[in-house]
Amino acid sequence: MKTLFHILSFEWKTLWRSNSLKVLLLVVFGAGIYGIYFGKFEIDKQQKRIAKVQQYERQQFDSLMLWVELDTTITSNKEKYQQAVSPTGVGWNKHFTYYLTNNAPPAAGLCLGQRDLYPVYYGFNVTDLARQVNTGELANPMKLLTGNFDLSYVFVFLFPLLVVALFYNLYAGEKEGGTLSLLQSQSTSLRTILFSKGLLRLTIIWLLAAVLLLLSFALQGISILENGELFFQWLIIIYGYCLFWVVLMGAAVALRLSSALSAMLGLGIWLIFALITPALLNLFVLANEPLPNRAEMIHAVRTLNGRNWEHPKSFVWDRFYPENPQYNDGDTTNFSKWYYASFTLLDKEANALKAEFEKQVSKRNALLDQWQWLAPAAMVHEKLSTLSDTDRESHLEFVKEVHAYHDGLKELYYARIFKGEQFSSDDLQTLSDKL
Amino acid sequence: MRKLIIKKEILTALRDVRLQVSGGILIVLMLTAVFVGWQGQKQIQEQRAKAQSAMYDTWLNQGNKHPHSAAHYGQFAFKPKPVLSFLDVGLDNYTGISVFLEAHKQNEVLFSAAQDSNGMTRFGEMTAALILQVLLPLLIIFLTFNIFSKEREEGTLKLIHAQGLSMRQLFMGKVWGAYLMVLLIFLPIILLAYLLLDQQSASLDSAVTTKFLLLTFGYAIYFLAFVLLCVLISAFAKNSGLSLLTLLGLWIVSCIILPKATTNLADKVYPTPSQFEFKKTIKNKVKNGINGHNPSDVRLASLRQEVLDEYGVETIDELPVNWSGIAMQAGEEYTDQVYDAEFTKVENIFNRQNRLSEWAGFINPYLAVRNLSMALAGTDFHHHVAFARAAENYRRAFVKKMNKDMEVNHKPGIAYGDYSVGEEMWSSIKPFQYDLPNAATILSNQWRSVVALVFWLAFLFSLSMTYAPKISKL
Amino acid sequence: MDAMHFDMEKIRGLRKYVTVSHSNFSFHINFFLMLEAINLSKKYSGHDALSNLKLTVGQGEVFCLLGANGAGKTTTINLFMNFIQPSSGHVKVNGLDASAQPQDTKKHLAYIPENLSLYGNLTGLENLQFFAGLGGEKPDKSSAENLLQSVGLQSDAVHKRVSQYSKGMRQKVGIAIAKAKQADNLLLDEPTSGLDPQASNDFAQLLQEMRQNNVAILMATHDLFRAKESGTHIGIMKAGKLIHSLDSDEITLTELEHLYLETMKSESHAEVNH
């Protein structure tokens, strides 16, 4: 133990006084800070968009709230009043859009994950959701391809390089520097000496990671008090990941190669785990495992829609009323009721197909997950993404929320439509509270 | 004399076990990427072609209905997978693959592969491009980092110089020796890839051979420039260790860090608008007129008056043609105009962003070759936009035809449900046909990258010739 | 409790010191041989680096191994240091077998390699403290300074970084490290190569000091002059064999030179005739 500290204190002096450590730490630290700011910038951008969308929705609804109070004896107010109270009228459905937004979870700025691939808001009305969620956010595919330079990227990609840079010279440095024989002639074994040197380097790396993580929480305004568990989960994962790389480099160093060869070996290992295996996995799965043809869903919806219009109304009633008896008052001629009933059928058709597709996709992604351990960098990044709620699952959760919200809206709308009623200002208040 | 140097360089390289191992690994990776990629590309292309023809069949077999209903029924356009995309997957996993074409709506090209995959996709796909652009340069570094410094450290440099060989000759001898080694790995594989192309490939893209040759040429320039850079650094570095560290540092910065930083910066400098703003603007401009002074009801009224005047009647019922057909087509065309203007704005922003990384090719040759490779393989942004435009033009054409038929043949007074057409009309719309841009278009889009590559070659070459005599032999 | 030293008969190449100490009325007799090579051989595929070496270095003796490159001098040193394992035979340090008990034997060995390198970014003082601390007790600042002074390192150099030292200065630090260990035995590999005459002289004086402190010293060197001057015993090696082994005062420098050259010439002739 005493020997350990003895070696640690002198090794620290040597390391610190050579400029290479300072440069390395500065570069990685700089990259980390850039990553933190980039993550914050992207999330702020998304949040601004969300705010705009919500503001627009609120504005629109506020005018409706005003219009419902208008004096309809004045002719010019009649149209506006109608727009406010008619659940089926052109007012509601063509000119008012509901929005549901996907607020950035607290750690999203640390690991943007897949958040840039999907929209963070959906606009829709009470017609069929199927034809309204097929939309994406405007994004330069080049930017999606090159990816995000956020903190998780620094941890997953650059920290292993830091490990390689700090460890490749562990043995070779002593040998090529000429101090090896003097070390070997001491009564402390070389193994102890090398282990101590390695331990110091691991400590430095861990310290840098902790500093960056703390800074990231501070600079991005994430409260550690509220997200303590998240903080520690991140810390443990990153510490484990660094340790993994240190062990790998330790094995490489044990081969007692020259510094150039050790560096090449370390870099080779990094290439294999961070670049080559994930790319190979993607090649085998992306290029060769078929994805469902999602256009089929659009095709099914448009076909059914065509059929709904071509057949007599009973075509829709026969499929709608049995599953929704609460709306069945025997009416088979009302256009609005038929119109809205058909939307439910379209959604049912689309959702069935979607579920089918999702099963296929899950099967395929399970293949990737199965072999993920071959690509530890990808595995760790995925874990961080899951922790930050920015993975694909999180988006699917959001889409589920959209469906649930839409269903909730439908309940209120259908209640009025199928009774032939209009919205009261209480109804509007209810809807407003739901926004 | 130079032949001796070249021969010696090649022999030492071939005998170096480490190079044998890493070269071997690279070749295996290349073969895997090329073959598996080729399989995958064929499979995907087949899938899409099938889907495309199946959808066209549904169009043909939709039965008898009103032409406007057919316009609502719509068609699909599937983006073909470019033949050379197996060499460079480019943006293919991040752009949509199909678009629904219907009346009154411009839909987006949807369903990118990345959206249906988990986070692993973001780590890229193993393609020949990845290997040639990122891994082969690393091999070049391992091959050449001590090509000069080792000789200096072992004292043989003094001896060679004493034999009467000039540093320039020695320098170029080493460059050619190393370059020939690179070509030894690169050319056979690329030839193999070319042999995979067949009749079908030529039918899908008539310019495929030209693009392939240009691609090969582009990579050849990239490798030569890189070899020159490495040998230069080895010649002037204080020792082998520093040479290796410098080259590795440059590689990491150019191939790993800068590409990300460049696109990030581009997005900051030319911010991308949101979908919300985009749609809202279009909606507003359609409603209120492009300049805000020509609202839709006013446009409609003036159009009505125009048509009435044209046919010399007072009311719509007196028209010999169908007013709805005319009105709807006018609406379509106005919306198209607005959409075109807004979409072009967005496209320009993306182009400006991408141009930044093309200009960055002048400080980072990796970016130059990457952009050129993507473009020639048919997987860059321009290709995606070309498809989107072609699909949209197809949509406008068939919707217009449907509306025209309505205008002319659905006589006023007849109910909507009583007028219908059948397969004869449907088959008059030819299936969606999309031709990939030709090589000339691609090169004109990517001229910055081409110039950057040539610039790097010329620059490094002249640097070498100027400074080679100054190489220290001690 | 007096330790009585008996001088045993001088046997060629062998000196035994018997230390007798008594405490509590019991007598212990230790036969204390310092450095011993017993039928030591090292074979590599193709050639014999060392063949059947027998030598002993006792307390206060300075045994100088002379020979050309590849004669086996460094191999011998490396075997004593357990950097390599013998093919046959034994190496003993204070009675302990070097290959069987490497860590224990190292406690009794101090070593200064050829081309001594230290940590360039540490000062002379820090280097001393580091290496000495590895060997046992880390000397505190003042004892380290004293130690460096005692080996002749200028006081203003003590706190400068070793990257700025001359070879002679580095060697002084090496000696200080060896001294700090207070080991009974010292191994030196080409200690005077590359030293200017002043530094070489300083080194010789330090060597005498250590000899007077009863350290057993084995030194591999090219330097005939230094070998004659500082050595108590001289051995001439050729092709892995110890050809001659003689007391230093049995021969003059000129004679030594003559003997050395003859050995190099004649042995090679003999080998050719084989």
CATH number at residue C45: 3.40.50.300
Q: How far apart are CA B172 and CA B9, in angstroms?
A: 11
Helices and strands (H and E) in chain B: how many:
20, 2
Over residues A171-199, mean pLDDT: 90
Over residues B341-369, mean pLDDT: 95
Cα of A152 to nearest chain B Cα, Å: 12
Q: How far apart are CA B356 and CA A390, in angstroms?
A: 28
Q: What is the pLDDT of residue C23?
A: 39
Q: Which helix (H) or strand (E) holds B325?
A: helix B323-359
In a domain, C158, yes or no: yes
The pairing of strands C62-67 and C47-57 is: unpaired
- Does C101 share its domain with C190? yes
The pairing of strands C4-7 and C17-23 is: antiparallel
* Tally of domains in chain C: 3
- Does C212 share its domain with C256? yes
Instruction: Show Cβ contacts of residue A308 under 8 Å, excluding neighbours closer than 6 positions.
Output: A315, A316, A342, A345, A346
Over residues B316-330, mean pLDDT: 87
Q: Is the pLDDT of residue B165 over 90?
A: no
Query: Number of A:C CB contacts under 8 A?
Result: 70
Cα of B135 to nearest chain A Cα, Å: 9
- Does C190 share its domain with C274? yes
Nearest to B381 among A136, A142, A382 (CB): A142
Using a CB-CB cut-off of 8 Å, the residues of chain B touching A361 are 116
Nearest to A187 among C106, C118, C161 (CB): C106
Q: Provide the percentage of residues in chain A whose pLDDT is more than 90.
A: 57
Cα of A262 to nearest chain C Cα, Å: 21
Nearest to B241 among A260, A284, A306 (CB): A260
How far from A396 is each of A115, A147, A399, CA to CA, in Å? 11, 21, 5
Query: What confidence tier does C2 reach under pLDDT thresholds 50, 70, 90?
Result: very low
- Does C264 share its domain with C130? no
- CB of B288 within 8 Å of a chain A CB? The answer is no
Cα of A184 to nearest chain C Cα, Å: 8
Q: What is the pLDDT of residue C7?
A: 41
- Does C63 share its domain with C43? yes
CB distance B110 to B89 below 8 Å: no
**Is B22's CB within 8 Å of A268's CB?**
yes
pLDDT per residue as tens digits for the range A231-261: 999 999 999 999 999 999 999 999 999 998 9
Query: What confidence tier does A417 reach under pLDDT thresholds 50, 70, 90?
Result: confident
Using a CB-CB cut-off of 8 Å, the residues of chain A touching B96 are 136
Q: What is the pLDDT of residue A96?
A: 79
Q: Return the residue of A nearest to C101 by Cα.
A: A187
Annotate C155-174 with three-state secondary structure: CCCCCCEHHHCCHHHHHHHH
Residue A320 DSSP one-character state: H
Query: What confidence tier does C33 reach under pLDDT thresholds 50, 70, 90?
Result: low
Using a CB-CB cut-off of 8 Å, the residues of chain C touching A12 are none
Q: How far apart are CA A183 and CA A169, in angstroms?
A: 15
Q: How far apart are CA A284 and CA B120, in angstroms?
A: 12
**Is B245's CB within 8 Å of A299's CB?**
no
- Which A residues 309-368 touch B at CB under 8 Å? 309-310, 361, 364-365, 368
Q: Return the residue of B nearest to A131 by Cα.
A: B107
Q: How far apart are CA C53 and CA C38, in angstroms?
A: 7
Mean of per-residue pLDDT scores for chain A = 90
**Is A178's CB within 8 Å of C115's CB?**
yes
Nearest to B94 among A145, A267, A309 (CB): A145
**Is A193's CB within 8 Å of C134's CB?**
yes
Q: Provide the percentage of residues in chain B whose pLDDT is more than 90.
A: 66
**Is A290's CB within 8 Å of B47's CB?**
yes
Nearest to A10 among C120, C130, C135 (CB): C130
The residue among C162, C182, C202 that closes a domain is C182
Using a CB-CB cut-off of 8 Å, the residues of chain A touching C81 are 181, 184-185
Q: Is the pLDDT of residue A359 over 80?
A: yes
In a domain, C24, yes or no: yes
Q: Is the pLDDT of residue A202 over 60?
A: yes
- Does C272 share its domain with C210? yes
Using a CB-CB cut-off of 8 Å, the residues of chain C touching A169 are none
How far from A260 is each of A336, A386, B152, B227, CA to CA, in Å? 77, 38, 16, 19
Q: What is the pLDDT of residue A89?
A: 64
Q: Is the pLDDT of residue A58 over 50?
A: yes
- Does C151 share its domain with C217? no
**ipTM of the assembly?**
0.91
Q: What is the pLDDT of residue A326?
A: 86
Backbone angles phi, psi at B240, to 5 degrees: -60, -40
Nearest to B141 by CA among B238, B44, B243: B243
Backbone angles phi, psi at C74, to 5 degrees: -65, -35
Q: Which helix (H) or strand (E) holds B52?
A: helix B17-60
Nearest to A147 among B55, B260, B384 (CB): B260
Query: Number of A:B CB contacts under 8 A?
Result: 231
**Is A13's CB within 8 Å of C109's CB?**
no
Q: Evaluate whether chains A and C are touching (3 or more beta carbon pairs less than 8 Å apart).
A: yes
Over residues C201-222, mean pLDDT: 90
Cα of B173 to nearest chain A Cα, Å: 24
Query: What confidence tier does A291 reach under pLDDT thresholds 50, 70, 90?
Result: confident
- Which B residues 169-198 touch A at CB under 8 Å? none
pLDDT per residue as tens digits for the range A368-405: 888 899 999 999 999 999 999 999 999 999 999 999 99
**Is A187's CB within 8 Å of C119's CB?**
no
Query: What confidence tier does B1 reach under pLDDT thresholds 50, 70, 90?
Result: low
The residue among C131, C161, C182 that closes a domain is C182
- Does C141 share its domain with C162? yes
Using a CB-CB cut-off of 8 Å, the residues of chain C touching A188 are 134-135
Over residues C139-144, mean pLDDT: 90
Nearest to A155 by CA among A390, A384, A391, A389: A384
Q: Is the pLDDT of residue C16 over 60?
A: no
Range C226-245 burial, b when 16+ CB lie within 10 A, else e: bbbbbbbbbbbbbbbbbbbb
CA angle B187, B189, B194 (to 5 degrees): 95
Q: How far apart are CA B243 and CA B372, in angstroms?
A: 29
Nearest to B452 by CA among B373, B366, B374, B379: B366
Mean of per-residue pLDDT scores for chain C = 81
- Does C59 share its domain with C193? yes
Q: What is the pLDDT of residue B292?
A: 62
- CB of A288 within 8 Å of a chain B CB? The answer is yes
**Is A271's CB within 8 Å of B135's CB?**
yes
Q: Return the residue of A nearest to B70 by Cα.
A: A306
Q: Residue A157 is encoded by which pair of tokens?
A: 């990609």
**What is the residue range of C25's domain?**
1-32
Q: Is the pLDDT of residue C5 over 60?
A: no
The pairing of strands C241-247 and C233-238 is: antiparallel
- Which A residues 183-212 touch C at CB under 8 Å? 183-189, 193
- Does C198 share its domain with C256? yes
- Does C188 share its domain with C100? yes
Over residues A201-221, mean pLDDT: 95
Q: How far apart are CA C88 and CA C77, in angstroms?
A: 16
Helices and strands (H and E) in chain C: how many:
8, 13
- Does C48 share its domain with C3? no
The residue among C129, C152, C182 that closes a domain is C182
Q: What is the pLDDT of residue C32?
A: 63
**For residue A189, which amino acid is it?**
S
- CB of A157 within 8 Å of a chain B CB? The answer is yes
pLDDT per residue as tens digits for the range B401-413: 999 999 899 888 8
Q: Evaluate whether chains B and C are touching (3 or more beta carbon pairs less than 8 Å apart).
A: no
Q: Evaluate whether chains B and A are touching (3 or more beta carbon pairs less than 8 Å apart).
A: yes
- CB of A3 within 8 Å of a chain C CB? The answer is yes
- CB of B28 within 8 Å of a chain A CB? The answer is no
Q: What is the pLDDT of residue B291?
A: 66
In a domain, C212, yes or no: yes
pLDDT per residue as tens digits for the range A419-434: 888 888 888 888 888 7
Over residues B208-213, mean pLDDT: 92
